[in-house]
Amino acid sequence: MSSTSTVDPATTSSTPADLIPLSPIPRLLLSPVEAAAALRISPRLLWSKTKAREIPAIKIGRLTRYSPSALQGFIDRACGE
């Protein structure tokens, strides 16, 4: 004897949040450790390049963050493009 269960749509609760597919939130800013890893350099070298204003950083309170587009700009300038 096999038992199959069916779900009655009238008795289940579905909210609009259940119907919206979840997508990952894009990373708009990177931490110094993440930015250094993305560039494959040490955090110390990243900080040195930031202090020399070769790589732009964004300050949010006490936090320093890097935009991926700023990192790409640094790469482009380093390659002479």
Residue-range domain boundaries for the chain? 35-81
pLDDT of residue 26: 78
Q: What is the pLDDT of residues 4-43, one digit of tens each?
A: 656 555 555 555 656 666 778 778 999 999 999 999 999 9
Measured CA distances, 7 to 10, 12, 14, 17 (Å): 9, 7, 12, 19
For 12-81, where are the alpha helices, taking DSSP H only? Answer: 16-19, 32-39, 43-51, 68-78
Rounded CA Rg of the chain: 23
